Amino acid sequence: MRRRLLALSTLALSILLAALLGPLISTYASDRTQELFVTRQADLNRFAVVAANALETGSVSSLRSELDRYEEVHGARVVVVDADRRTIAASSGDLEPASVPRQVARALAGNSAEKPAPVWPWSDDTFVLASPIGRDAHVLGAVLMEAPTQGVRDDVAARLALLVVAGLAVLLVAAVGVAVPLVRWILRPVDDLDEAARRVAHGDLATRVPASAGPPELRRLATSFNAMANHVQVAQRQQSDLVADASHQLGNPLTALRLRVETLSADAEPEDAAQLDLVLAETDRLTRIVDSLLDLGQIGAEPPPVTEVDVAAAVRARCRIWEQAVPGLTVGAPDRILALATVEVVDVVLDATLDNATKFALGSPVEVTVGEVTIRAADATETAAVEIRVRDNGSGVRDEDLAKVGARFFRGAQHQNVHGTGLGLAIVRAHVVQLGGTFAVGRPPGGGFEVRVTLRSPAPGSSAARRGAAPAAR
């Protein structure tokens, strides 16, 4: 929309300038043509007097000499004809009276030369004037002059070029000084709506836009946007409250159920005890699902407090806790690398991914690396980010299942019998996306499974950016 408005405003300014400059250049062309016409008409009248004397006396040699000199000086060809249209005298040019019958007929009828049309750079090289030769009321002949227009055309072209350059300069100044601020002012409510929509999309559901300023159409749009944001906020709060309440209400019955099953198992026969152990296992699984749902329900309830987190230090600290459970765990991270995140997000990412590695790639080496990357958005803008990669060397995930990894309760066909809820990576994805980061999975070269998480880097002017960060060790 901004480009369209700028194009329309620039077009309107161009039309206005053309309407102002057009009469100026037209007037200048008419004045220069009139000046040339008056000068050549005066010379034509003088030749008419001289030619009248020559026709009466029959001596035309001096007239021919004067016509030749005039052509040498002014470049204009002159021809004198009698009443029968016979050439009496002519300069050395090749002007033929028969080629301009209208002008000859007009002059022999006793009429003076007609004013030519304004001369432009693209006009003909010459125009022809004709004046009658007469004595008293008797027409003796006519004088024809083919006047060059090169000088006038050059002057008009120079003035036209000057006005065009001046017009373009004025247009540029007007576009920068008038059109751009005007379009920015017109689109300011739209920009506010766009910014508010971006903030809502990133999880800030408390964002609202002023609905009392701007044109009526945008005020109505702002009112509708605020109403939509209210509905979304209420719906998400209700959803989060429902999940939290349901999880909380299910917790006590599940705990009581487990205690009763344990009591029955203690006094049961061996065969019954085995069945009750299965019930206990399912009860534990249901408890973990309820706890995970509670965790998911809390995400998005309110914007998390984002701070500058040393991701490298957090990764090393968490991996030290997991290194006993994952013997083949290696860590590659710089001394210090900062990201905009919450204090617990690194723990959430590593707990879920390393737990999956122990389940689905037991005994295989696991690599955790941290480094800086550049993310290219859809609009070709690039932003810096901090990436955490967790790769195992197990059997991996089938290609048709990769796009489903991270969805709630998804478990690959080959892992259906592995202990778990299918919510770990879903929780990771929700946490990371809420912070404005990205979540991706893939099958790296050489096999295995890889989770890639990016977190936003601090702005270039922030204190974190000024401290800098070393590149990740690979």
CA angle 453, 456, 462 (to 5 degrees): 155
Query: Does 431 lie in the same domain as 458?
Result: yes
In a domain, 160, yes or no: no
pLDDT at 135: 76
Binned at pLDDT 50, 70 and 90, residue 271 comes out as confident
Mean pLDDT in residue range 407-415: 56
Residue 441 pLDDT more than 60?
yes
pLDDT at 407: 65
Query: Does 45 lie in the same domain as 20?
Result: yes
Domain encompassing residue 445:
307-467
- Residue pair 385/457 in contact (Cβ under 8 Å)? The answer is yes
pLDDT for 172-226, tens place per residue? Answer: 888 888 888 887 887 788 888 888 888 887 767 788 888 877 778 778 888 888 8
| Burial of 258 from C-beta contacts in 10 A (0-12 / 13-18 / 19+) | middle
pLDDT at 311: 92
Beta-ladder partners of 147: 127
HSE (CB half, 13 Å, CA atoms) of 253? 7
Tokens describing residue 260: 């009763």
pLDDT at 460: 66
Quote the CA–CA distance of 304 and 299 in Å, as a whole number.
9
- Residue pair 374/387 in contact (Cβ under 8 Å)? The answer is no
In a domain, 166, yes or no: no
**Residue 83 gets which letter from DSSP?**
T
Residue 56 pLDDT more than 80?
no
Kindly state the helix (H) or strand (E) to which residue 332 belongs, with its residue range.
Answer: strand 329-332
Quote the CA–CA distance of 468 and 474 in Å, as a whole number.
19
Mean pLDDT in residue range 234-263: 73
Query: Does 318 lie in the same domain as 272?
Result: no
Give the CA distances from residue 410 to residues 127, 241, 421, in Å, rounded to whole numbers and listed in that order.
90, 24, 8
203 vs 274: which has the higher pLDDT: 274
- E strands, 40-185, where? 77-82, 87-90, 126-135, 138-148
Q: What is the mean pLDDT of the chain?
A: 80
Of 134, 155, 176, at which residue does a domain stop?
155
pLDDT at 231: 86
Query: Does 330 lie in the same domain as 452?
Result: yes
241 vs 46: which has the higher pLDDT: 46
In a domain, 95, yes or no: yes
Query: Does 281 lie in the same domain as 349?
Result: no
Domain of 46, CATH number, reads 3.30.450.20
Residue 471 pLDDT more than 70?
no
Of 107, 139, 155, at which residue does a domain stop?
155
pLDDT for 309-328, tens place per residue? Answer: 999 999 998 898 888 888 88
Total domain count, the chain? 3
In a domain, 178, yes or no: no
Query: Does 349 lie in the same domain as 463?
Result: yes
Query: Does 365 lie in the same domain as 292?
Result: no
Query: Does 226 lie in the same domain as 363?
Result: no
Cβ partners under 8 Å of residue 266, min gap 6: none
Tokens describing residue 319: 């991996």
Tokens describing residue 210: 């002023």
HSE (CB half, 13 Å, CA atoms) of 402? 15
Quote the CA–CA distance of 321 and 325 in Å, as a whole number.
8
Domain of 229, CATH number, reads 1.10.287.130
Of 137, 155, 173, at which residue does a domain stop?
155
Mean pLDDT in residue range 1-18: 80
- Residue pair 12/135 in contact (Cβ under 8 Å)? The answer is no
Q: How long is the chain?
A: 474
pLDDT at 468: 42
Mean pLDDT in residue range 135-150: 85
Mapping DSSP to helix (H, G, I), strand (E, B) and coil, where does residue 210 land? coil
Query: Does 360 lie in the same domain as 251?
Result: no
pLDDT for 361-392, tens place per residue? Answer: 777 889 999 999 888 776 677 788 999 999 98
In a domain, 229, yes or no: yes
Residue 248 pLDDT more than 70?
no
Start-to-end C-alpha separation, the chain: 46
- E strands, 377-465, where? 382-392, 438-442, 449-456
Tokens describing residue 323: 């290194």
pLDDT at 465: 44
In a domain, 183, yes or no: no
Binned at pLDDT 50, 70 and 90, residue 300 comes out as low
pLDDT at 285: 66
Query: Does 327 lie in the same domain as 278?
Result: no
Query: Does 385 lie in the same domain as 289?
Result: no
Residue 239 pLDDT more than 90?
no
pLDDT for 145-169, tens place per residue? Answer: 988 888 888 999 999 899 889 888 8
- Residue pair 124/116 in contact (Cβ under 8 Å)? The answer is no
Residue 264 pLDDT more than 70?
yes
pLDDT at 303: 58
**Residue 448 gets which letter from DSSP?**
S
Residue 104 pLDDT more than 60?
yes
Mapping DSSP to helix (H, G, I), strand (E, B) and coil, where does residue 391 land? strand
131 vs 247: which has the higher pLDDT: 131
Residue 474 pLDDT more than 50?
no
Domain of 385, CATH number, reads 3.30.565.10
Q: Which of 21-35, 213-227, 228-242, 398-412 has the lowest mean pLDDT?
A: 398-412
Query: Does 234 lie in the same domain as 138?
Result: no
pLDDT at 304: 67
Neighbours of 410 (CB within 10 A): 15
434 vs 2: which has the higher pLDDT: 434
In a domain, 473, yes or no: no
In a domain, 199, yes or no: no
155 vs 424: which has the higher pLDDT: 155
